[in-house]
Amino acid sequence: MTNAANELREEGFRFDVEGAFLRRTDLSNADLRGANLRDADFSNAILRGANLEGAILDGTILKGADLSGARVTLSQLKRAVLDKSTRLPDGIPREELSLAP
């Protein structure tokens, strides 16, 4: 985790679910700063309003996931796997993302 991500979390627990199968789970309004979601499958999951600053989304499957209102950057999402049914937060240009079929 980067120093910046470390600074984002004031306390010790770091949510690490690398590679986990978590389809249709609900993490709405969760504080996921600096979390490790690498290669996890969050298809159709609810991440509405979640704070994903500094979170690792490399290879994270977000097909059909609801990210509306989430705090996440375009560069983070470019590393994740999304499709046309993924609900993006405002301000993220869908056309700049390569969507999975």
Task: Provide the terminal-to-terminal Cα distance of the chain, rounded to the nearest Å.
Answer: 31
Is residue 74 involved in binding another protein (CB under 8 A)? Answer: no
The residue whose two tokens read 């869908």 is 94
Distance CA 48, CA 69 (A): 6
Instruction: Report 16-35 residues binding another protein (CB under 8 A).
Output: 16-27, 29-32
Candidates 10-18, 52-60, 73-81, 87-95; binding stretch for another protein (CB under 8 A): 10-18
Looking up tokens 């990210």 gives: 67
Q: One symbol per residue from 50 to 69: x for binding another protein (CB under 8 A), - otherwise; what is it?
A: -x------------------
User: Would you say 86 and 60 are in contact if contact means Cβ atoms under 8 Å apart?
Assistant: no
Number of residues that bind another protein (CB under 8 A): 24
Interacting residues with another protein (CB under 8 A): 11-13, 15-27, 29-32, 43-44, 49, 51
